[in-house]
């Protein structure tokens, strides 16, 4: 569903993403690990078409992002580190607006149901977003992924700043989405969560995938030791 | 899609406390200025009617006298106020309201209301026109400066674009939303002003509404220029703060600096003649004509000789009419040519200055709008010139009637001829035909063109910046 | 003082600052040049008028050397009353583009209300106003000050760095005051320099007091806007908010309040009805003319000392008598008219403290000598002179007394008497104090808002 083929992006002579080959199939949760500056956020921006690659290609559902970014985005949902919403509108109103823009209008009842599925209670959903915590904003993001029936989901540091309970809830939602066949690419520092939820892990170093592990391999390795080892190398 | 965005913008605007406060304030100011202006127009009309009636009575009751003396007694006419002055008072405070019509002289309009007013008057008056010209653009800037730049800073731009919305749709949707917000805000104001206009008696009601329609179109164009331009700036700048700085600077140059600066530059290149010189040249040229009162002038001798020849008589007393009357008629005819020449040139110069300022609107749209606004409201120099011309024609008519009366009814050589009320009543009352809307349109052609050009430019800028929108935040 | 100079250096290090300063200096220079040019033109035309007058006086005196003259001949030529050129024209053009600086007074037209306009000025130009130093100081100086100083701490608050600064233990009020003054100082210095330059561009000698007071007004006015910046920053949570806030205050005080006040004043104290004055005076003239000869004999009965030796009714005598009658009839109308004008100005005087912009503008025009009060004084003195003229010539004409050489020195001449310095000084000083009071109010309000606790919230 999500494919990067020799994807390269340079900023001032430095290759932030260097010949990256990556693929995420429907139902897979791919955790992209790496230190700051490794290129995780850049990779996500490349998939969203917010940056144009210098060479190589990013594909979403077979569509080249570079040639038709709007069509590519239509198939994606995006939850950044801080989900930005319109403070003077309520959760439901925000969801309504974004889902319409995504081409999938819903009735108010449907929207409330979606928010509930994402874990946001009705009374919270009708409050103005200006008062929301990070976890609540994320739930709106997830509801949006559900509302637009996105085939691919891009996440950037989803669990940073969440307390353990919210983090746990988030994992649950993620696994449900994967079960529904969504291809999920998650850029994160959270080794614990990556180990819990990912079906595959990739360690991104200097724009390249230094290591790729499958679920079974993850279970057998001490992820932290491996990660730090790779960094030192 | 665009409509979804527009609707959201509209709701967002009204939920913004700052905008609500600003909008309410502007509406209140529009209402207050409209109501007070109507009161002023009413009072001016009542005053003028009373004064005109009194002058008419003065004229009729001036008693029996030589008909030429009545020409020297003269008549005052007062300039009517355009009903749309309740919207835009234009140059009314700075032009004379009274013209003294007398024989042998074309006088300037006198008694500028501003001269009787306080020095604070120079700050200007808050009219509905001023509120729309200066304050509404500020509201537009308030709504629009963060339209794209603010969203970029807050991260919602990414979020919105990540749904697969095309950037162009976003930009146009926002523009439409802001435009709708402003339009709906102005509806009650428009209704109030329309209601006030209905209450003011007018000599040409359908023409009045045509003019009001033109005014609405011009102001809508002006505000649309600001909406499109502000959103375009917001789409092009790095931060909302930069966008705001740029927009406020543009506003200040357009609304505060441009009127005075343009006026200065135009008058440097197209100066107005000095009063002393004008009067001196005028007097000089009139003298070259025929002075009916100066029995020693050579031109009078020539004219006398010619007339005697024409009628085959040897003495003026033998002529079949009163020669003095004929002399006066001829004198007025020659003087009229001189007046037309000099006043025509003066007024042409003043209108050339106004025209140049309208063209300067290419640098600052407010200049074009002000000019167009005054033209359609009937409070610009073209309309004043129309009044001055009509007054002058009235003067020539009544002086001619008096002189003809002297010529035909006074016995030749009779110096004691007097006329009475019967003659005075022959003079019709002064009536000013209002300029039809087509005339106002002709006067405002350049300005409307300039506004149109600005609209095209700002829409072009909007389309251009919509295509280059930066997502930012890397 | 160290931190003040640091703030100043930081401010001057930005390129944008220099652009703003250069722009401001250019507007100052342009405004001063405009005013100076008007002043020069006024001087030239005053000189012409004066020359003309001296020539005529000489002619009359020379003629009187040879023979006695009929007073009607001398009275036939209108006398010119001249308002001397303003002492500080480069400071403000004021009303001098609108109101005439000289008036032609003819004995035969004393009852005609003076109608002279200042010239053939384009009314749209009068409407737009002039780009003089007063315009730059009252409208533009605050804009430039606000551009420099609108973000004292609002941007820091937005970025989160304000808390870090406050955590260092700095007293916010002092810190912000230093910052505000550092940013305002270059602008205010330029404004002060401009005022002094304007003070030098004059033919007048004794303008020291005027320039000092003008400097006071400009600085007080500038301080007011600095205080407004501080006050707005006490509330604003972002730089954009601060900009909107100070912008709104400027629009309120400089644009809306004066213009709104104008329409309200016009409504409560309507402009004097000129048309009424004109029509009434003509009605009185008609009546007087109709009573004609009868009027004249009544007049001589009432003023036996003026009856001529030969008792022959003379056209000119009759005209004068009629004029007197008209004057008498018009007195109440004229009174109403003058009262209306005065009441309008009294309202302005009272309400000028509503906005520092009004107070500053009035004060600057007053100091320049182009303000309302000086022109008003001129009009009053012209009215008094008309009486003097009438009192001198009228008896001589009635009694048919010729003018002789002995009368030479006593011819009425119009000499404008300037207002006592004490009066305009106290007017300006009151305005200045008013502006300072408003500035102090804003500063105090700012002080209450700028506490660490409130800012960190």
Q: Are C130 and C409 in contact (CB under 8 A)?
A: no
ipTM: 0.91
- Within chain A, which residues score under 70 in pLDDT? 218-221, 233
Helix, strand, coil shares of chain C as percentages rounded to 5? 75, 0, 20
CB spacing of B164 vs A83 below 8 angstroms: no
Identify the closest residue of chain C to B275 by CA–CA distance. C119
Gap from C81 CA to chain B (nearest CA, Å): 16
| C118's tokens | 């200042």
Nearest CB among C94, C276, C357 relative to B50 is that of: C276
8 Å CB contact of B116 and C34 = no
What residues does A90 pair with on adjacent strands? A128
Q: How far apart are CA C408 and CA C421, in angstroms?
A: 33
Judge if A23 and A63 occupy the same domain: yes
Number of structural domains, chain A?
Answer: 2
Q: Is B283 exposed, middle or buried (0-12, 13-18, 19+ CB in 10 A)?
A: exposed
Question: Is-contact C104 C116, C-beta < 8 A?
Answer: yes
Q: Do A23 and A39 sit in the same domain of this protein? A: yes
> Average pLDDT, stretch C238-265?
91
Instruction: Indicate the length of chain B as a whole number.
Output: 474
Write the residue in B156, B163, B474 that is nearest to A73 by C-beta: B163
Per the prediction, chain A carries an average pLDDT of 88
The partner residue sitting opposite A70, judged by closest CB among B5, B166, B474, is B166
Whole-prediction pTM: 0.90
Residue C276 has pLDDT above 60, yes or no: yes
In sign, the C-alpha dihedral spanning C215, C226, B257, B371 is: negative
DSSP C254: I
- Counts for chain A of helices (H) and strands (E), in that order: 10, 10
Candidates C27, C127, C246, C248: best to mutate against B (most CBs of B within 10 A) is C127
The whole-number pLDDT of residue C337 equals 80
Residue ranges per domain, chain C?
Answer: 2-251+309-324+353-456
**Whether C348 and B36 lie within 8 Å, measured CB to CB:** no
Nearest CA in chain A to B168: A70
- Helix, strand, coil percentages in chain B from 3-state DSSP, rounded to 5: 75, 5, 25
Q: Give the integer Cα–Cα distance in Å for B194 and B179.
A: 21
Structure tokens at B134: 């200066």
- Extract the tokens encoding C176: 């912000």
- Helix, strand or coil for residue A32? strand
Residue A159 sits in the same domain as residue A141:
no
The verdict on B265 touching C (C-beta cutoff 8 Å) is no
For C348, the closest of B22, B120, B134 (CB atoms) is: B120
Would the CB atoms of A80 and B12 count as touching at under 8 Å? no
* pLDDT above 70 (res C401): yes
| Residue A171, domain member (yes or no) | no
pLDDT in the model for residue B221: 97
**Quick one: pLDDT at residue B474?**
43
Window 293-312 of B, Cβ < 8 Å to C: none
Find the angle CA(A19)-CA(A21)-CA(A23) to the nearest 5 degrees.
155
pLDDT of residue B312: 86
Rg (CA), chain C: 29
- In chain B, which residues have their Cβ closer than 8 Å to the Cβ of A102? 163-165
**Which ranges of chain B have pLDDT less than 50?**
474
Average pLDDT over residues C379-399: 86
Strand ranges inside chain A, DSSP E: 2-11, 14-24, 29-33, 55-60, 63-64, 76-79, 152-156, 183-187, 200-205, 208-214
B-chain residues near C251 (CB < 8 A): 135, 138
- High-pLDDT (> 90) share of chain B, %: 53
Chain B environment of C98 (Cβ under 8 Å)? 94, 112, 114-115, 122
Neighbours of chain A (3+ CB pairs under 8 A): B
Fill in the DSSP letter of residue C399: T
> Is the CB of residue B258 less than 8 Å from the CB of residue B251?
no
Answer yes or no: do A32 and A44 share one domain. yes
Q: What is the pLDDT of residue A34?
A: 85
Chains touching C (3+ CB pairs < 8 Å) = B
Query: H-helix or E-strand containing C102?
Result: strand C102-105
Residue ranges of B 141-200 with Cβ closer than 8 A to chain C:
142, 145-146, 150
pLDDT of residue C356: 96
A35 with A110, same domain: the answer is no
Whole-angstrom CA distances from C189 to A110, B368, C185, C250 are 65, 36, 6, 21
Q: Determine contact, residues A25/A43, Cβ cutoff 8 Å.
A: no
Does A80 map to a domain? no
Write out pLDDT tens, residues C113-133.
555 556 788 999 999 999 999
- Host domain of residue A96: 86-149
- Number of alpha helices (DSSP H) and beta strands (DSSP E) in chain C: 18, 2
Q: Is residue A225 part of a domain?
A: yes
Are residue A95 and residue A60 in the same domain, yes or no? no
Contact residues on chain B for A71, CB-CB shorter than 8 A? 164
Instruction: Indicate whether C1 pLDDT > 60.
Output: no
What residue spans define the domains of chain B? 2-467
Supply the CATH number for residue A68's domain: 3.40.50.300
Residue A233: Cβ-neighbour burial (10 angstroms; 0-12, 13-18, 19+) = exposed
- Is the CA virtual torsion C398, C399, C400, C403 positive or negative? negative
Q: Radius of gyration of chain A from Cα atoms?
A: 17
Predicted confidence (pLDDT) per residue in A83-102, tens digit = 889 988 999 999 999 988 88
Residues in chain A with CB shorter than 8 Å from the CB of B155 are 80, 82, 84
Question: What pLDDT score was predicted for residue A102?
Answer: 84
User: What pLDDT does C334 receive?
Assistant: 79
What is the band of C309 on the pLDDT scale with cuts at 50, 70, 90?
A: low
From CA B295, how far away is CA B324, in angstroms rounded? 11
pLDDT tens figures, C293-304: 666 666 666 666
| Model pLDDT for residues A65-79, shown as the tens digit of each residue | 988 888 888 899 999
The whole-angstrom distance between B129's CA and the closest CA on chain A is 33
Residue A2 forms contact with B (CB below 8 Å): no
Residue located via tokens 């890397």: B474
Task: Note whether residue A170 is domain-resident.
Answer: no
Asked if residue A144 and residue A155 are part of one domain, the reply reads: no
């Amino acid at each position: 569903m999500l494919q990067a083929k020799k994807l390269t992006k340079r900023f001032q002579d430095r290759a932030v993403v260097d010949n990256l080959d990556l693929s995420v199939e429907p139902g897979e949760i791919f955790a992209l690990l790496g230190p700051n500056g490794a290129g995780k956020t850049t990779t996500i921006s490349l998939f969203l078409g917010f940056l144009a690659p210098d060479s190589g290609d990013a594909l979403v559902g077979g569509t080249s992002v570079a040639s038709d970014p709007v069509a590519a985005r239509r198939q994606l949902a995006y939850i950044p580190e801080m989900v930005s919403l319109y403070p003077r509108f309520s959760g439901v109103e925000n969801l309504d607006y974004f889902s319409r823009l995504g081409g999938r209008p819903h009735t108010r009842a449907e929207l409330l149901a979606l928010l509930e599925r994402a874990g946001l209670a009705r009374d919270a959903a009708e409050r103005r977003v200006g008062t929301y915590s990070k976890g609540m904003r994320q739930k709106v993001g997830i509801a949006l992924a559900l509302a637009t029936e996105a085939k691919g989901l891009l996440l950037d540091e989803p669990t940073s700043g969440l307390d353990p309970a919210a983090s746990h809830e988030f994992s649950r939602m993620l696994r449900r989405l994967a079960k529904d066949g969504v291809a999920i690419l998650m850029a994160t520092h959270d080794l614990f969560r990556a180990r819990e939820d990912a079906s595959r892990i990739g360690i991104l170093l200097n724009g390249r995938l230094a290591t790729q592990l499958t679920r079974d391999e993850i279970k057998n390795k001490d992820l932290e030791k491996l990660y730090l080892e790779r960094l030192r190398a | 899609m665009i409509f979804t965005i527009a609707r959201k913008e509209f709701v967002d605007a009204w939920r913004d406390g700052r905008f609500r406060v600003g909008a309410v304030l502007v509406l209140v100011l529009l209402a207050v200025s409209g109501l007070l202006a109507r009161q002023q127009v009413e009072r001016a009309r009542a005053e003028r009617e009373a004064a005109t009636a009194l002058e008419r009575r003065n004229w009729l009751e001036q008693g029996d006298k030589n008909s030429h003396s009545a020409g020297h007694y003269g008549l005052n006419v007062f300039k009517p106020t355009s009903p749309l002055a309740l919207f835009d008072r234009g140059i009314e405070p700075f032009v004379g309201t009274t013209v003294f019509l007398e024989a042998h002289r074309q006088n300037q309009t006198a008694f500028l209301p501003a001269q009787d007013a306080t020095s604070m008057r120079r700050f200007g008056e808050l009219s509905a026109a001023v509120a729309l010209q200066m304050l509404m653009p500020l509201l537009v800037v308030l709504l629009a400066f963060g339209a794209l730049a603010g969203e970029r800073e807050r991260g919602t731009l990414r979020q919105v674009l990540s749904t697969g919305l095309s950037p162009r749709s976003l930009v146009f949707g926002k523009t439409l939303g802001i435009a709708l917000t402003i339009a709906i805000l102005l509806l009650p104001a428009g209704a109030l002003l329309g209601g006030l206009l209905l209450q003011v008696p007018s000599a040409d009601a359908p023409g009045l509404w045509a003019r009001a329609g033109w005014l609405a179109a011009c102001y809508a164009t002006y505000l649309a220029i600001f909406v499109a331009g502000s959103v375009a700036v917001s789409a092009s700048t790095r931060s909302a703060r930069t966008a705001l700085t740029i927009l406020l600077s543009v506003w200040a140059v357009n609304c505060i600096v441009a009127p005075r600066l343009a006026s200065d530059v135009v008058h440097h290149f197209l100066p107005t003649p000095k009063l002393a010189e004008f009067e001196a040249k005028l007097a000089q040229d009139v003298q070259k004509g025929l002075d009916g009162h100066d029995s020693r002038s050579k031109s009078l001798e020539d004219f006398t000789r010619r007339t005697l020849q024409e009628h085959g008589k040897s003495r003026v007393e033998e002529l079949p009419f009163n020669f003095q009357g004929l002399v006066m008629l001829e004198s007025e005819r020659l003087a009229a040519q001189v007046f037309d020449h000099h006043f025509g040139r003066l007024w042409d110069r003043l209108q050339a200055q106004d025209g140049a300022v309208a063209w300067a609107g290419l640098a600052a749209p407010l200049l074009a709008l002000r000019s167009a606004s005054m033209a359609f409201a009937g409070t610009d120099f073209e309309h004043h010139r129309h009044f001055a011309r009509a007054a002058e024609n009235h003067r020539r008519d009544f002086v001619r009637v008096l002189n003809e009366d002297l010529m035909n009814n006074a016995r030749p050589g009779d110096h004691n001829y007097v006329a009475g009320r019967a003659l005075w009543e022959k003079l019709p009352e002064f009536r000013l035909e209002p300029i039809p809307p087509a005339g106002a349109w002709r006067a405002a052609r350049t300005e409307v063109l300039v506004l149109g050009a600005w609209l095209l430019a700002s829409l072009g800028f909007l389309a251009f910046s919509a295509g280059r929108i930066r997502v930012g935040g890397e | 003082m160290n931190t003040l100079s640091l703030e100043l250096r930081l401010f001057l290090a930005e390129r944008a600052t220099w652009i703003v300063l250069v722009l401001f200096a250019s507007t100052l220079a342009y405004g001063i040049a405009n005013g100076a040019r008007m002043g020069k033109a006024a001087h030239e035309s005053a000189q012409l008028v004066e020359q003309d007058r001296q020539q005529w006086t000489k002619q009359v005196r020379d003629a009187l050397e040879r023979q006695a003259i009929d007073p009607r001949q001398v009275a036939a030529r209108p006398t010119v009353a001249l308002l001397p050129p303003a002492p500080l024209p480069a400071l403000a053009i004021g009303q001098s583009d609108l109101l005439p600086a000289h008036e032609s007074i003819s004995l035969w037209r004393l009852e005609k209300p003076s109608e002279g306009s200042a010239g053939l000025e384009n009314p749209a130009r009068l409407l737009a106003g002039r780009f003089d130093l007063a315009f730059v100081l009252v409208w533009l100086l605050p804009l430039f000050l606000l551009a420099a100083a609108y973000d004292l701490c609002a941007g820091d608050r937005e970025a989160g760095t304000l808390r870090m600064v406050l955590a260092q233990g700095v007293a916010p009020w002092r810190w912000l005051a230093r910052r505000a003054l550092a940013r305002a100082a270059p602008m205010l210095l330029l404004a002060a320099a401009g005022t002094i330059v304007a003070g030098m561009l004059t033919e007048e000698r004794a303008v020291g007091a005027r320039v000092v007071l003008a400097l006071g007004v400009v600085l007080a006015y500038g301080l007011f806007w600095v205080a407004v910046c501080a006050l707005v920053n006490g509330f604003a949570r972002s730089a954009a908010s601060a900009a909107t806030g100070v912008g709104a205050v400027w629009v309120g005080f400089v644009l809306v309040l004066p213009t709104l006040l104008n329409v309200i004043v016009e409504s409560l104290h309507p402009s004097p009805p000129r048309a009424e004055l004109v029509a009434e005076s003509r009605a009185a003239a008609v009546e007087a003319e109709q009573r004609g000869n009868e009027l004249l004999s009544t007049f001589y009965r009432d003023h036996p000392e003026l009856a001529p030796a030969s008792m022959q009714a003379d056209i000119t005598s009759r005209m004068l008598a009629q004029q007197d009658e008209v004057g008498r009839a018009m007195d109440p109308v004229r009174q109403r008219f003058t009262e209306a004008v005065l009441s309008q100005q009294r309202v302005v005087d009272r309400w000028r403290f509503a906005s520092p912009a009004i107070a500053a503008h009035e004060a600057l025009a007053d100091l320049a000598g182009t303000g309302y009060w000086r022109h008003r004084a001129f009009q009053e003195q012209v009215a008094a002179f008309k009486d003097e003229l009438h009192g001198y010539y009228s008896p001589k004409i009635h009694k048919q007394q010729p003018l002789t050489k002995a009368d030479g020195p006593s011819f009425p001449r119009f000499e404008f008497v300037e207002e006592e310095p004490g009066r305009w000084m106290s007017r300006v000083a009151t305005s200045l104090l008013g502006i300072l009071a408003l500035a102090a109010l804003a500063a105090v309000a700012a002080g209450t808002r700028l506490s660490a606790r409130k800012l960190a919230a």
